[in-house]
Structure 1
Amino acid sequence: MNASWWTWGLVVTRTLLIGAAGGAVFLWAGLPAPWLAGAMVATALSVAAGVKVCVPDNARRAVFLLIGLSIGSSVTADTLQRMMSWPASLLMLAVTVVLVTAVQYYYFQAVHGWGRRTAFFAGLPGALSTVLIFAEHHASDLPRVTVAQSVRLFFLIALLPIAISNLGEGPAAAVASAPPGPWLDTAIVVAVGCVAGLLAERFKVPAGLMLAPAVVNAALHLSGTVHGVLPDTLLVPGYVILGCLVATRFAGIGMGLLKGMLSASLVAFALALATSALGAYVASLLSGLPFGQTWLAFAPGGLETMTIMAFALDMDPAFVGALQIARFLGLSIAIPIAAGWLFGRGRAKADEAT
């Protein structure tokens, strides 16, 4: 038992060191979001080389808590005023989610002959845990769904920071000007936020590990009880852990399957990215918000990855996080309803064309 724990600990340590090294290389190269993207790319290359990697579930939960705390730290009185411009973006986000799903659904079916169920679940932009649960329930091709979803998220993290940085819009003033808080304020924020997040998780609040710390921390900041954002000494390890975590999704996927599906998944990624950019552009015109910030909020990736990328790119994390949480909650509600309407509510036996 002790030997197995020792081996597991070595694998986890090696994974995080690989991620940190990748982040350091990206930082040295001057690439955007270096600790997140660099950790992901380095860990993915290690997986491809046959290196065993692992990120424990508790580390994932800690990152969710950290993201929630970070969102709450970014909320100010000015944020509340800017919320008046968010409804138009939320409406366009709902439209864009439908369009992104429809475009990929049609592509997977028409071009590659995938079955309706597999094409539908592979094209859903986010809420991966819910997607996989209902994909299995409706007898979709789970390896295809997993590869399509994982490839899209991988290239979003690798390429979207570069695309947004080249827009030349600059950092959001509210984020760029906020200094880290005093150590006592940080300790209070972490302690209260962790308690709130764990309680929300216990009572099965959707995205509770992230949502509860965000709300509590926002209240602490708005009331003047605490001040400042979280320091990089907390954020950078979170970036590295999340980057490693994304890459570990490829550990259970055979290289033959990945190579065979790479071209289809890359085209689907490009279609999803272009569709989300179009929706974000319309939303930015309606709301007056920066296009890059809106594009990140609309990006068809994971809730946690897109939100933490807002910090790495000096975007408004409150806006990006709010829209990503709205999309996550909306998909979590809509997926079982839409899947039941399209494919029936009973457990399916097999996808009709996979």
Structure 2
Amino acid sequence: MSGKAIPLKAGKKRIIGHDGWGPLALALLIGTIGGFVFDWLRMPLAWMLGACVFSTVAAFFGLRIGMRVRLRQGMIIILGVLLGSGFTPDLVQRLGEWAVSLCVLTGMTMTGASLCYVWLRVFTGWDRVTCYFASMPGGLNDMTIMGGALGGDERSIALAHALRILTVVLTIPIWYRLVNGAQTSVLTMVHGPTGNDWKDYAVLIACGIAGAAVGRLLRLPASFMMGPMIASAIVHLGGLTDSQPPGVLVAAAQVVVGTGIGCRFVGTNFDRLHKEMAASIGAAVLLIGCAVGFAMITVALTGLNLDATVLSYAPGGFAEMSLIGLALGIEIAMVATHHLFRLFLIILTGPLVFRTFLRRAP
């Protein structure tokens, strides 16, 4: 391997950033160090965010880092299985309690995405495709993949979503710590024992392999995540297992995915991104404002817990918000259900809405 930087469009099926085993090893080393540092600081979603931040900085400073797409896809399968484990029989019984909240969440998603789309069109030079998929309040990997497939700029979409997640997961825990005195720690969530036996591992592995294969066969959007997630949800709803992937493996998956995000910025000039970064952070603040506003409306209508509702609406994604909810002691079942619902809503309707209303727009 030559270590040559691969253009994103030309190499997107094989490599992100620089080609070669050396750049891959360096990227994983930097990402792992970032995960350890963020974990030491007791940051939420430490392994993904630490890897993302450190590898992004490394890319901006011109270090030769790269990520193999096959490795990233394999780790996305693990995260898909983890997402599916959020579906339990208890959630089905409680869906009726959250019907109004889920309806309001649908309106909030549409409102937040529309505001962010207009914001990004005004304050960035991105095209319609890029702004549309960058404005979605969830699904970093999915929106980046879909947006790139439909002609958008994957780097810009990834930038917007990475900054959205970073803004949300840094803002909400700090807010709860300052206002409510809450203490967040990911140590017990990442390193805690799972209690899985060989049967649990067999079921989880089968969900990952079969789910990815069926997802590819059915051409599901982001099939390496969606297929395993659906398979895992089915077995968990059916009571075949209540297990999750081991914490160490989940941490490794987060490092790979986070490092892959950072590798997207290889060859990018930081000085040319300050406007886009400021606009992306502004879009994230808009989404947080929408989440708080619509959560207050939902609480007035239903009497649900405000903290749980805000976290359920927060635009940080299932994995991020679920981990934060667990750390803060907020009702994890409600948070998981709402974020899974929004993830399905965005993934299944996002491309359809784009093709219907925006693709033919002048």
For residues 215 and 39 of structure 1, the distance between their equivalents in structure 2, rounded to whole angstroms, comes to 27
- Two-structure CA RMSD over aligned residues (Å): 3.7
For residues 52 and 294 of structure 2, the distance between their equivalents in structure 1, rounded to whole angstroms, comes to 27
Moved more, 314-323 or 53-62: 314-323
Q: How many residues of Structure 1 are paired with residues of Structure 2 in the alignment?
A: 331
The 3 A distance-change label for structure 1 pair 261 and 115 is: closer
1:334 is displaced (CA, Å) by 0.9
Contact 1:164 1:292 (C-alpha < 8 Å) held by counterparts: no
Which residue is 1:339 aligned to? 358
Q: Which of 190, 197, 211 is the aligned partner of 2:205?
A: 190
Which residue is 2:25 aligned to? 13
Is 1:220 equivalent to 2:235 in the alignment?
yes
The 3 A distance-change label for structure 1 pair 19 and 283 is: farther
Q: Which of 320, 323, 327 is the aligned partner of 2:342?
A: 323
For residues 9 and 58 of structure 1, the distance between their equivalents in structure 2, rounded to whole angstroms, comes to 13
1:232 is displaced (CA, Å) by 0.6
Q: Which of 259, 265, 274 is the aligned partner of 1:259?
A: 274
The 3 A distance-change label for structure 1 pair 184 and 258 is: same
1:160 is displaced (CA, Å) by 4.5
Q: Which of 318, 321, 326 is the aligned partner of 1:307?
A: 318
Contact 1:152 1:269 (C-alpha < 8 Å) held by counterparts: yes
Which residue is 2:38 aligned to? 26
Contact 2:87 2:233 (C-alpha < 8 Å) held by counterparts: yes
1:86 is displaced (CA, Å) by 3.7
Q: Which of 147, 167, 187 is the aligned partner of 1:131?
A: 147
For residues 185 and 35 of structure 1, the distance between their equivalents in structure 2, rounded to whole angstroms, comes to 24
Q: Supply the AA of the counterpart residue of 1:266.
A: I
1:149 is displaced (CA, Å) by 4.8
Contact 1:76 1:221 (C-alpha < 8 Å) held by counterparts: yes
Which residue is 2:164 aligned to? 152
| Residue aligned with 1:251, SS | coil
For residues 37 and 312 of structure 2, the distance between their equivalents in structure 1, rounded to whole angstroms, comes to 27
| Residue aligned with 2:20, SS | helix
1:157 is displaced (CA, Å) by 4.7
1:132 is displaced (CA, Å) by 4.2
1:339 is displaced (CA, Å) by 0.1
The 3 A distance-change label for structure 1 pair 7 and 158 is: same
Q: Supply the AA of the counterpart residue of 1:229.
A: Q
Is 1:43 equivalent to 2:43 in the alignment?
no
The 3 A distance-change label for structure 1 pair 3 and 235 is: closer
What percentage of aligned pairs have identical amino acids? Answer: 22
Moved more, 156-165 or 326-335: 156-165
Moved more, 155-164 or 255-264: 155-164
The 3 A distance-change label for structure 1 pair 38 and 254 is: same
In structure 1, stretches of 5+ residues that fail to align are: 345-354
For residues 43 and 60 of structure 2, the distance between their equivalents in structure 1, rounded to whole angstroms, comes to 22
1:154 is displaced (CA, Å) by 4.2
For residues 351 and 358 of structure 2, the distance between their equivalents in structure 1, rounded to whole angstroms, comes to 11
In structure 2, stretches of 5+ residues that fail to align are: 5-14, 327-331
Superposition pairs of residues 173-252 of structure 1, within 5 angstroms: 179-252=194-267
For residues 167 and 230 of structure 1, the distance between their equivalents in structure 2, rounded to whole angstroms, comes to 33
Moved more, 214-223 or 43-52: 214-223
1:35 is displaced (CA, Å) by 1.4
Contact 2:81 2:208 (C-alpha < 8 Å) held by counterparts: yes
For residues 344 and 174 of structure 2, the distance between their equivalents in structure 1, rounded to whole angstroms, comes to 24
For residues 242 and 251 of structure 2, the distance between their equivalents in structure 1, rounded to whole angstroms, comes to 20
TM-score, length-scaled by structure 1: 0.77
Q: Which of 79, 88, 94 is the aligned partner of 2:91?
A: 79
Contact 1:71 1:214 (C-alpha < 8 Å) held by counterparts: yes
Contact 1:11 1:52 (C-alpha < 8 Å) held by counterparts: yes
Q: Say which structure, 1 or 2, has more relative contact order (CA 8 Å, 6+ apart).
A: 1
